[in-house]
Structure 1
Amino acid sequence: MSLLSRKLATSLFVLGAIASFAGISPMSLVAADAAAEVGEEFAAGVAFAQQRTVKIYGGGIGRTPGYASGIIVSSEGEIVTASGALLAADSLRVTLPNGQTFPAQVLRRSLPLQLVMLKIDASTPEYFDLKAASTIETGDWVLAVSNAFKVAEGAEPLSVNIGVLSLRTKLTARRGYVDFPYEDEVFLIDAITSNPGAAGGAVVDVEGKVVGMIGKVIESKNTGTRLNYAVPADLIAAFASGQETSPAADPAPSSNEKGELGIRLFALGGRKGPAYVDRVLPGSPAAEAGVKVDDLVVAINGDVVRDSSDFQKLISGIAAGSEVTIDVKRRNELLQLRVTAAPMR
């Protein structure tokens, strides 16, 4: 089936669905034929991906949902997903395709790729072999399988979007333009995947071979537009095997000198009070990174900050020159900031 005929079949399927909903009959026979043809072609890939994609539940904050998706990458309960504040929750859990739910822990992170490796105490014989990734080319069909909008809670099937691979390109998502940094290559895909809960979902070809993983939502602060993209499977494979290194994956301090971020919290409430920012020292690393007064610190390097005591404990071991990832809640936004600690004055 040619690419043109595939696109035509998909268009007829969509138009037929609209006509059927509206009670229009002339297209129904054509749409039914197109739908059958499209369904047969994608059925195997969808079924394969459904058995290897999981639902992840944690803690929501503000407008940030407390749910996401993930892909199983080994038979030993290892799962890769996109970075997010929900992963800092004490009740982080993963629901497998069969509906079983297990507590999960964070093993390691990649700041440049915004990836996180999770581990559950369960056997997962059905997984994506990242070394046998798809050899897909520009213009080929892709399937995006995820728990977008929390369509599934247990053993229900996940949402599936059909699209086309546009291109592979270098992406540098800079702070100030988007809510978090991304520094590597991505697959741009012609499918709407930038939805709540979709991050961490599988992107596969028509046979079910993994193409990549739906990335964390990237939204331009200037235009409000979102990017539909996938982290390529070869980059995920390097991260999963420990070959990809980043400040988050390798947090070894660059010196023995104690570091300073330049953040001062509200004294009201004592050590058990919320970790609200009272002052940001002028010219400090926190000021340069964009931390603002009244921000609520919710996580440091992925570790949840429940109160001021947690904040002080987590920053006490930071060495000068170390890069620290700070998640803050600002009104209804959740922002991730990267701060390089300066030597204590």
Structure 2
Amino acid sequence: MKKFMSYLGIAILGGMISLGTYQFLIEPHQIQSEENVINFDQPKVHQTVAYNYSNLVPENFNFTEATNSTVNKVVNVKNVSTYSSPQSFFEYYFGQGSGETKKAVRGIGSGVIITPDGYIVTNYHVIKGASEVEITLNNNKTYQAEVIGSAPDSDIALLKIDAQDLDYISFGDSDHINLGEWVLAVGNPFNLTSTVTAGIISAKGRSLDESNNMIQSFIQTDLAVNPGNSGGALVNAKGELIGINTAITSRTGSYVGYSFAIPSNNVKKIVEDLIEYGNVQKAILGVRGTDITPENYKQFDDIQQTQGFYVAKVDNGSGAQKAGLQEKDVIIKLDDIKIRKFSDLSGYISSKNPGDRVLVTYIRNGQIKTTTVTLEKYEYYRIKEIGVEVINATDDELKAFGVKNGVKINRLLNDSMIADNLIGILITKVDDQPVKDINALRDILDNRDPYKPLSLTFTAPNGESKTYVFR
């Protein structure tokens, strides 16, 4: 018995030693490995950039199907410029001779095939200023693309290549995406073709820098998007296109945590307009106002909610006026889309056509009401020579300015030659010819000698007029 107890004690002691040795030699390495992973993913204390933690894919979730159905439908887009290089001393100084024609790639981005016969959508900034646009498919076949049309305000361009039976991506419904929904970005960052990254939707209806004159209603994600991803696809788990990746916010020029995409419903509307009309048919609700926020809602009379769009003015003769909307109404919903701020409203209206009917839910005197508004066409004209957009002046505005004719400066374009304080004033004459409306303005500018200086007469609200000559 004593020998048995002795053997038992030795066995137990041996087991404890073995277990201790295992814990000492093996387990710390496993723990150290886990700590390395955690420390690698977490930002250091002194760093201020955002990090992407969303790549921890939920259990049993698989991106394979969406990736395989999308990767061949995204293309490489090259912006190619053509120029002449002088071949001699005389050509360099005197410009004589034809010179040697050379090509240079100005930029590389991505594009999305949306039809089997070769229509491709990309960002306008990807192909801006290109002499040629070169498309390379995922199978390395290369095509010259035709620019069908563009919408610089929305940063969208439509291209066409001579091909058939292409794999193409279907549009999803960007109005009904959800925060936290998993999404993929497919594109060519840093010219690395067919690159896929995963993340989640972080916000909807996001506004960026409004000084760039772009429509402000982006999908914000935490996807890794870098230069070269522009124009690529943002897709949901079913492989449907819900956005075109467009921008990042970064101090370095590379991804630091946030990326932005143009919603697919807006893209689809723009593409259809460019194919059918050659330009974008803009619809308007006919109201002007400001966002209601937790910081400013007390400034408005009898306003209790802390979000929505406050109507400061209803345009005369607009669909909103005909439907009964009034000043001080607060719009909180369009159809089934919640309106928290102007970017929600403008983003949804931008996906609609003139003549569409929209159910508007609003608050008046504390009561929730609804009305149906028929959207009207936004009539505008751009004087490219000076970089301004003008719209027709209303009868009330003409009366207030003390004039009988004129068009109103609505906003400045990126390359504008005039100052911001001229927004809202009237242009009453072009080359000493009275301007009745934008159609008359278009006729005058289309039929004038483009090599002659352009004379414009501006009229301020006090009735004072000044004429400027632009050369």
1:84: how far off? 1.8
2:281 aligned partner: 245
From 44, 54, 57, the counterpart of 2:75? 54
From 149, 152, 168, the counterpart of 2:204? 168
Q: Deviations for 1:217-257, whole angstroms, at most 9, x for unmatched residues?
A: 56689xx98851111110111011107436xxx9x9849xx
State the distance in 1 between where 2:453 and 2:156 align. 22
Secondary structure of 1:239's partner? helix
2:236 aligned partner: 205
1:214: how far off? 0.1
State the distance in 1 between where 2:224 and 2:237 align. 17
Q: How does 1:1-345 map to 2 (within 5 A)?
A: 15=37, 41-59=62-80, 66-84=107-125, 86-130=127-171, 135-152=176-193, 158-175=194-211, 180-193=212-225, 195-217=226-248, 227-242=258-273, 244-245=280-281, 254=381, 260-261=385-386, 285-288=416-419, 344=469
Q: Deviations for 1:275-321, whole angstroms, at most 9, x for unmatched residues?
A: xxxxxxxxx941538xxxxxxxxxxxxxxxxxxxxxxxx97699999
State the distance in 2 between where 1:228 and 1:104 align. 27
Q: Deviations for 1:130-179, whole angstroms, at most 9, x for unmatched residues?
A: 26669531111111111001013xxxxx111110011211425323xxxx
State the distance in 2 between where 1:343 and 1:226 align. 47
Q: For the structure 1 residues 15 and 141, does the alpha-carbon distance in structure 2 shift closer, same or farther, using more than 3 Å as the test?
A: farther
Report the residue type matching 1:125 in the other structure.
L
Q: Determine which structure has more spread, i.e. the larger CA radius of gyration.
A: 2
Report the residue type matching 2:179 in the other structure.
T
CA RMSD of aligned residues (A): 4.4
State the distance in 2 between where 1:166 and 1:136 align. 11
Q: For the structure 1 residues 123 and 319, does the alpha-carbon distance in structure 2 shift closer, same or farther, using more than 3 Å as the test?
A: farther
State the distance in 2 between where 1:315 and 1:241 align. 32
Q: For the structure 1 residues 188 and 121, does the alpha-carbon distance in structure 2 shift closer, same or farther, using more than 3 Å as the test?
A: same
Q: For the structure 1 residues 167 and 216, does the alpha-carbon distance in structure 2 shift closer, same or farther, using more than 3 Å as the test?
A: closer
State the distance in 1 between where 2:257 and 2:455 align. 35
State the distance in 2 between where 1:143 and 1:317 align. 52
State the distance in 2 between where 1:45 and 1:70 align. 17
Secondary structure of 1:149's partner? helix
State the distance in 1 between where 2:192 and 2:272 align. 31
Task: Calculate percent identity across the aligned residue pairs.
Answer: 22
State the distance in 1 between where 2:453 and 2:206 align. 32
Q: Is the 8 A contact 1:72 1:124 kept in 2?
A: no
Consecutive unaligned residues in structure 2, runs of 5 or more: 1-33, 42-55, 82-104, 275-279, 283-376, 388-414, 421-448, 457-466
Q: For the structure 1 residues 214 and 35, does the alpha-carbon distance in structure 2 shift closer, same or farther, using more than 3 Å as the test?
A: closer
1:343: how far off? 7.6
Q: For the structure 1 residues 55 and 225, does the alpha-carbon distance in structure 2 shift closer, same or farther, using more than 3 Å as the test?
A: same
State the distance in 1 between where 2:250 and 2:206 align. 17
State the distance in 1 between where 2:150 and 2:455 align. 21
Q: Is the 8 A contact 1:59 1:87 kept in 2?
A: no
Report the residue type matching 1:41 in the other structure.
N
Q: Is the 8 A contact 2:206 2:220 kept in 1?
A: no
Q: Is the 8 A contact 2:172 2:240 kept in 1?
A: no
Consecutive unaligned residues in structure 1, runs of 5 or more: 1-11, 20-33, 153-157, 263-283, 290-313, 322-341
Secondary structure of 2:229's partner? coil
Deviates more, 1:166-175 or 1:183-192: 166-175
Secondary structure of 1:84's partner? helix
Q: Is the 8 A contact 1:259 1:344 kept in 2?
A: no
State the distance in 1 between where 2:117 and 2:78 align. 20
Secondary structure of 2:265's partner? helix
Q: Is the 8 A contact 2:122 2:158 kept in 1?
A: yes
State the distance in 2 between where 1:133 and 1:48 align. 19
Secondary structure of 1:187's partner? strand
Q: Is the 8 A contact 1:110 1:245 kept in 2?
A: no
State the distance in 1 between where 2:140 and 2:264 align. 26
Secondary structure of 1:125's partner? coil
